Chains A and B, each alone.
Chain A
């Protein structure tokens, strides 16, 4: 049970390392991180804040795009290219296949996040600016945001093409950061139906602003762990629901 899971998960990581897109995007992000510090060094007086802001911002954008690209293509490409015929015909359940693929995806993103984090803190140390708890929180919570996005991409790609999955996931990303506004708008609506629709949308969409601690990092505001735990739990629960949906859709479908 565990061995096939590990084998598939690690294979997913190997796939990403041999995938040109991941490698190029990774290298690009590293270049950007280094370049941003060099440029800001010359021009801005509030150097600490900008370094943190730009650094974590770059990590966030690059990894969000990569998460969308990887998760939306993973299942749909396997179905299209029929590579999964050779895998799901082994004595494993489709649920195991899917969760192992997801775990491999998160391993890839986690490894990249870790590498970028090391580079980021290396720079901070190099310039002798302050390393704060808030920076760790922002980077750590970014992982949970990536997990939520990947789970949406996964669920979509269990029944639709990569284009559709990627579009929906990007849509969910933007809507997820506006979730609070949707809630407020809907509570102001006159008709109870509109209120209900607005609230349903609010709960269906991932509340990504809840996982965004970049502002706190920029202004060096620490967040106690007790306050983070519910947000982490929320992210895990949301992803689990998405994966369960993916498993249900995926387990019943024909592969033609």
Chain B
């Protein structure tokens, strides 16, 4: 690593507690001490189940909500300063552009708000509408748009000012496969241009296809962080066995630590970490079982995700609620 560059995004011990109820006595710990460092040029995935605190993180960065404690910086600026949003394009979850405007009018307004005007603005509006595949329908009022079209206009208004940082909250949610593919391609294009991208999602293939770094968030806490490859290779290798002649309970009863036991009618699928496999095989054979198949399990981001979730305190969906 060379001389320290200003981080595109930095958070330190970032927390957000929502207060609810009539007396404001119910508290939702939406985010608990999140620390992230995103370098310029990275495409950074924030992965987590519903209610993990992804949107909360993004809203703090975009100054839509204020953190309860901790620090957040965009290119070194506090979120409350408007300079922090100077080179940033933002697509919120379920974007809601003004319905009485046409797609083109809205993207134009977005351009004016980032300080563009005249010929440059005309050109750029046309360009981004083309890029999101909305050239033909841009003259229609947004109230007539489908969800996918709104999402595209949302993306167009985010990139109209040629941002150095794109913050996207669930950019592909609610889209058909074609739309998802196109949005992915657009993000890849931005990545080629050197744009830093932070996007959050619960769709694992999107992360695998786009990101070079990922953080897994569960219950408002960081569960994993690293480059995608690093995360996959540092995992303990896991082996998958198919056993015949023994029921699932019998297999569990053998007394070895197993990751997963699944009944496949007449056969049992077992996952165990590499170090436990030899003794396990011995016991299975000793108990009269037969090993029909044995192979290394391909470890995917999905396994990592599920593992992180099950390790988390409740392994459930949503922030912690106390009162």
Contacts and interface: CB of A to CB of B under 8 A. Distances in A.
A252 B66 CA distance: 8
B16 to A, nearest CB: 9
A90 B167 CA distance: 12
Main secondary structure of the interface of A (DSSP, over half): helix
B90 A89 contact: yes
Interface string B36-72: 0000000000000000000000010011111000000
Nearest to B92: A85
A9 to B, nearest CB: 11
A7 B111 CA distance: 10
A93 B83 CA distance: 9
B170 to A, nearest CB: 13
B97 interface: yes
A7 B114 CA distance: 11
Interface residues on B, range: 20 to 34
A133 interface: no
Given A3-B115, A91-B115, A254-B66, A86 B110 contact: yes
Contacts of A18: 100
Interface in A1-55: 3-4, 7-8, 11, 14-15, 18-19
Interface in B241-299: none
Interface string B68-104: 0000000000000011011010101011111011000
Given A18-B100, A88-B63, A7 B82 contact: no
Nearest to B66: A254
A11 B109 CA distance: 8
B154 interface: yes
Nearest to B86: A91
Given A4-B113, A15-B100, A91 B95 contact: no
B114 A90 contact: yes
Given A89-B62, A91-B86, A82 B114 contact: no
Contacts of B66: 252, 254
B65 A83 contact: no
Interface in A224-256: 252, 254-256
Given A86-B90, A90-B110, A91-B113, 12 more contacts: A3-B117, A15-B98, A15-B100, A82-B92, A83-B96, A85-B64, A86-B110, A89-B63, A91-B86, A91-B114, A92-B82, A255-B65
Interface of B: 18, 59, 62-66, 82-83, 85-86, 88, 90, 92, 94-98, 100-101, 109-110, 112-115, 117, 154, 157
Interface of A: 3-4, 7-8, 11, 14-15, 18-19, 81-83, 85-93, 252, 254-256
